[in-house]
Amino acid sequence: MAFSVQRPSAPLGAEIKGVDLAQALDERTFQEIVAAWREHEVIFFRDQTLTPDQHLAVSRRFGELEHHVRQDCCRPGYPEIFVVSNVVENGRPIGSRDAGLFWHSDLCYKEEPSRGSLFYAREVPLENGKPRGDTMFASMTAAYDALPASMKKKLAGRFAINSYVHGYYRDRNSGPRRQLTAEQMSKTPDVAHPVVRVHPDTGRKCLFVNEGYTTRILGMEEKESDALLGELFAHLYKPEFLYRHQWRVGDFLIWDNCSTQHRAVPDYALPLRRVMERTTLTGAAVTAA
Ligand code: SIN
């Protein structure tokens, strides 16, 4: 299957044109798509019509899938499909209403963080014909490469704590969250990861701390760690490292959870509906740079 790759003027992100993901991909096309994903870190396909089973089938070509810790937010009958939505049906939210409102990478708080996520846009809020609820992406390879040599040296060999519980109770737009159950807490203990990680497939260095879940750099006083994290967060999300995706219904977008971070833009509310479905690849071993 011949396809073309179109790049926006951003350090990451590319549109793949000429692929129908509802059809089984031949191995060569699939490998070329994987190569484009590695190179551009975020890739997307417009105008896709996929059933939940087809979403799963495409996702499984990329690897094994997670069952999200919040099963209450998954599509009924599909424990691998995490729903991100502001819609409430029969008095019950159909998914997570405030997922990803801060910069993060998916499952960075696990021993083996997710390799990537595959996000399908079923309903996109439109206000006066303009899409709302964009997603921002930041390239962690571009951010690392742009660091001064003195900062690269300072970060080398450092580890930081990533905490699901910290992220879970952070800024919310739908009121306070339900307490996590003891079982959910036991599945998500805090974990230490290298501040700079080597990408498991490309070998590139990626900054692996984020605003949402990283709480502390180890081996430093709290004040010093807070100051360094603050300095890093001010760097990571500079406009020159970003791509902002404006969604259309039928978009299928794949992001890399090692070389990128993302954040949802909550600039819409009911009656404008947003329904997105995410599958999440299982993890890769973390290697320090
Ligand atoms: C997520 O972080 O998985 C959700 C991103 C979004 O809703 O745009």
278 lines ligand 1 (CB under 6 A): yes
Q: How far apart are the first and last CA of the chain?
A: 37
What does the mean pLDDT of the chain come to? Answer: 93
**pTM to 2 decimal places:** 0.93
147: DSSP letter: S
Residue nearest to atom 8 of ligand 1 (CA): 264
Residue nearest to atom 3 of ligand 1 (CA): 100
275 lines ligand 1 (CB under 6 A): no
- Residues 200, 152: Cα–Cα separation, whole Å: 20
DSSP run (H or E) holding 126: strand 126-127
pLDDT, tens digit (0-9, with 9 covering 90-100), for 182-233: 777 777 789 999 999 999 999 999 999 999 999 999 999 999 999 999 999 9
Give the Å distance between the CA of 194 and the centre of ligand 1.
24
pLDDT, tens digit (0-9, with 9 covering 90-100), for 130-144: 999 999 999 999 999
262: its two tokens:
């993302």
Residue numbers annotated as active site: 104, 106, 262, 278
Sign of the torsion angle spanned by Cα atoms 236, 240, 241, 242: positive
Q: What is the pLDDT of residue 177?
A: 66
Give me the DSSP letters along 25-58: PPHHHHHHHHHHHHHHSEEEESS----HHHHHHH
- Residues 54, 125: Cα–Cα separation, whole Å: 24
Percentage of residues in the chain with pLDDT exceeding 70?
A: 96
276 lines ligand 1 (CB under 6 A): yes
- Domains of the chain, CATH where assigned: 4-281 (3.60.130.10)
84 lines ligand 1 (CB under 6 A): yes
